Chains A and B, each alone.
Chain A
Amino acid sequence: MRRITCLILFISFLWTDVVSGTKLHVGAGQPFATIQAAMDEARSGDQVIVHPGLYRECPVVVNKSITLTGYGMPVLDALGEKEGIIIEADSVTIEGFEIRNTGYSYIEDRAGIRIKRTKAFTIRNNRLILTFFGIYLEHAKSGRVINNAILGKPLAEANSGNGIHLWYCKDIDIVGNLIRGHRDGIYFEFATQSRVRRNISEQNLRYGLHFMFSNDDIYTGNTFRDNGAGVAVMFSSRIHMLNNLFHLNWGQAAYGLLLKEIYDAEIRENVFQKNTVGIFTEGSNRIHYKDNDFLNNGWAVKVAGACEKNDFIRNNFIGNSFDFAAVGNMETNRIEENFWGDYSGYDLDKNGIGDIPYRPIKLFNYVVDQTPETIILMRSLLVEILNFSEKVSPVLTPAEVSDAMPNMHRYIR
């Protein structure tokens, strides 16, 4: 018997690269009635297969390097007072479960799946319904969170958790998840060298994606829609933000992208569409804003001050109520070769670059900054006259906020 098992193990090693070892089946009419019973039997490298059904044995604590697979979406119900799955061993895979109903707590950060000080894990194809925190990674390394749906019901910021929460993590891939109805969709704190790709994060109370003290991360191809703010990046360095869509983030303090005290970041080829403010940046230096589309936002870019050595290059600014707002000295920043939908200059030498500079800050921006209620006068004849006279002989708008080489045509990407 033992020899046969060894043989099977050997063959499995030859033929598969993920699943190895024994398969232990859990469920009605299966060898094991409970997941715990199967896990007690399992050894490192085994696969515990859970068949459809409702399992009330949360929290399921995985302390061996096994694969826990749900067939046909078995349900783990935490009955409103427990965590769903806790991973305490390296090289664990969790896939195909619906985990629900952890309940809310003011004392502990209860999670649907918690990864504790481990590495090389994979969490994929799970559905987390009404969990306080969705997937909680603490001191985790080199793992993957793929294709999960994490659907919460937002109450208030104080008693909502985050969809995917990273705390002191490194080298994590977060790919293809759908996160909805949490406080922050994805939260990074002291999480480095990680990648966030092709996720959809929407209808979260605070941010779709939130970086705090996290360096050298990259997020790309994500959609952030209808959150308090799409993405907030704070006190972090070397974050790469590529190819994301920031859409419909509306509200009094709503931004597509909020930057606060970050350095050396790259923001490229993103689309900011119909946000109250496309990008709000404060105290952030050496950021490259390149090849982005700002479409139909209230403000495309708002620079709140103490921002130095940033580049705004080759962006499209189209249909925004205000293209640019800036407080403080902008002298060290570079604004060049953008396409401005409101540019009314000409190109006599036909080199594709407008012959007169474009100044994206209009007088009315100032008026609105002073007295927000005056926004009700937007696009009135009076305001057009004011803007025009300011354009002819600038007095209040800063001369340094100016694109000396405005592109005549929209960049097609």
Chain B
Amino acid sequence: MLRIIRYSFADLIRSRWLYFYTGFYLVLTGALFLISADLSKVIVSLMNAILFIVPLVALLFGVMVQYNTREFTELLLAQPIPRRSIFLGQYLGIATALAISFLLGAGIPFILSGIFLSGEIWNFSILLLSGILLSYIFSALGYLLALINDNRIRGFGLAILVWLLLAVVYDGLFLLGLAWFSDYPLENVAIGVTVFNPIDLARILILLKLDVSALMGYTGAVFNKFLGTSLGMGLALTILVVWAVLPVSMIRYISLRKDF
């Protein structure tokens, strides 16, 4: 499987799209630094971009690579290699390439700015960690969507739909729900609902580093316990990892049953 990861990775890092992606983050982060010399402000702006773009790009990449390597996959399937190695290897190759691409694009300007000498290093680390986890989660979802749908237009369409759903619609319904039932105690529900959306989870994870005081203050005991202690951060991280594992095990399940 390591070989498959390596080749899938080697194939991707030569892709123009990936350079474009890295370049995009370089330009974005660099521009943010030009506009504002304030590290923490750059981190906040970058956070919005990461929560917005990483899932979308990872989804589309997952779908695209799965479709583009169909024939190549067939070539591999004819080799004496276990099926699961082929698919998990390909997925891990994509996800790792994306994660590294993101890491370089967002990281280099920060390193140049002297982040290691500043107190923002932890905020920055958690930001990068979230971006990496999101890369893994959403490229798995994209790969899975493409694996299930042989129709490419449908696959890409579903990927965009999933993104819209998790990035905006979910929160919209969430907000309406909270407003509608605002007479009831909703703290547990709110945390519960957040857990089911990896984008929200990643956001909370970053929020815990950036805005704790606001959250601490205004909300009730459950939020305080969840958001104010390391329990919240540990839990959010754990569930994010579960989120990454879940679609991967789905990929494995489907790949063992699919015809080519």
- Tell me the A residues contacting B by CB distance below 8 Å: 250-252, 254, 274-277, 296-299, 318-322, 341, 367-368, 370-385
Contacts and interface: CB of A to CB of B under 8 A. Distances in A.
B218 A318 contact: no
Contact of B213 (A274, A368, A372, A378): A274
A381 B213 contact: no
B159 interface: no
26 contacts: A251-B217, A254-B217, A276-B214, A296-B40, A297-B213, A298-B211, A298-B213, A298-B218, A299-B217, A319-B44, A321-B214, A322-B214, A341-B41, A373-B190, A375-B218, A376-B204, A376-B215, A377-B200, A378-B207, A378-B215, A379-B44, A380-B199, A381-B52, A382-B168, A383-B171, A385-B168
B39 to A, nearest CB: 10
B211 to A, nearest CB: 5
Interface in B16-58: 38, 40-41, 44, 47-48, 51-52
Interface in B145-192: 167-168, 171-172, 174-175, 178-179, 182, 186-187, 190-191
B194 interface: yes
A368 B190 CA distance: 13
Interface residues of B, number: 40
Nearest to A344: B35
A-B pairs with the 9 shortest C-beta distances? A276-B217, A298-B214, A321-B214, A382-B171, A371-B182, A373-B186, A298-B213, A373-B190, A321-B211
Contacts of B218: 252, 276, 298, 368, 372, 375
A374 B193 CA distance: 12
Contacts, number: 117
A371 B214 contact: no
Interface string B187-225: 100110010000110011011001101111111100110
A298 B215 contact: yes
A373 B167 contact: no
B203 A276 contact: no
Given A319-B38, A320-B214, A372-B219, 19 more contacts: A250-B213, A252-B219, A276-B218, A298-B217, A298-B218, A319-B41, A321-B211, A322-B214, A341-B41, A367-B179, A371-B179, A371-B186, A373-B187, A374-B190, A375-B219, A378-B215, A380-B203, A381-B167, A382-B171
A319 B212 CA distance: 12
Contacts of B186: 371, 373
Contacts of B178: 371, 373-374
A254 B219 CA distance: 12
B240 to A, nearest CB: 16
Given A276-B218, A296-B213, A376 B223 contact: yes
B40 A319 contact: yes
B168 to A, nearest CB: 5
Nearest to A380: B171
Contact of B214 (A374, A378, A380, A382): A378
A379 B216 contact: no
